[in-house]
Chain A
Amino acid sequence: MTRGRRGKRTKEMINIAGERIDILFDLAEEEARAHNLPRANRYVELARKIWMRYNVRIPARYRRRYCKHCHAYLLPSVSCRVRVSNGKIIYFCENCGDYLRMPLLREKKRDLR
């Protein structure tokens, strides 16, 4: 006898996971603005655990908000430095000292037009 949907993630789980990720990133921003970076990083860690556990796609708006090397919360001028060079946007993480480079594809395409 099959057990139906046992062990499967339901729609409700995915919805709640998405909402919890939103809440945690809002809290992380709040804490980072108050210069409480360890707590901000803890909230990113909790959010990451949720999206990895339930296989939820990270909303695009959060992709530039945490360091992909050390998972620290990135808030320009507080926990990271932002520069543009060679057609890339470069984030320097103050926590681990590593760089994140993201190509400015959309902006380049717009200029070609």
Chain B
Amino acid sequence: MSITSKNIHKHELLGLQARIIKSSDKGLKGVTGRIVDETKNTFKLMTLVGEKTLMKKGTVLAVKIKDEEINIDASKLTYRPEDRIKKARRRAVT
């Protein structure tokens, strides 16, 4: 079993390529980068111009897994990274 669209909400998101589709911060829309850190309320993206911290609340990310893009509603993932395995629900994946 590896990371798929079925278990991505419970799986490790660090190291994946992501694109911001929707954000409450309009300046972040369309930013692409690699997810390098995660806390309960934020993600950190490594972009070409440096690190960007984004709120999970109000953000939709398109995450790339094996040439397939999966949209994740990050506001449904507001748990500590280690708690996500237990608490995150599938509705986060759209």
Which of A's residues lie within 8 Å of B, judged by CB? 9, 12-13, 15-17, 19-20, 23-24, 26-27, 39, 42-43, 46, 49-50, 53-54
Q: Which residues of B contact A27 (CB under 8 A)?
A: 14-15
Task: State the interface size on chain B (CB cutoff 8 A).
Answer: 18
Residues of A within 8 A of B14 (CB): 23-24, 27, 43, 46
Query: When the two chains form their complex, are residues B82 and A13 in contact, meaning their CB atoms are under 8 A apart?
Result: no
A-B pairs under 8 A by CB, number? 48
Known contacts A27-B14, A42-B37, A46-B81; A19/B86 CB under 8 A: no
> Closest 8 CB pairs between A and B?
A49-B82, A20-B12, A23-B12, A53-B82, A50-B82, A27-B15, A13-B85, A16-B10
Residue of A nearest to B2 (CB): A19
Interface SS of chain A: helix
Q: Which residues of A contact B85 (CB under 8 A)?
A: 13, 16-17, 20, 50, 53-54
A19 — which chain B residues lie within 8 A by C-beta?
A: 1-3, 11-12
A49–B92 CA distance with the chains assembled, in angstroms: 23
Q: Is B21 an interface residue (CB 8 A)?
A: no
- Do B15 and A16 touch across chains, with their CB atoms under 8 A apart? no
Task: Evaluate contact between B7 and A16: CB separation under 8 angstroms.
Answer: yes
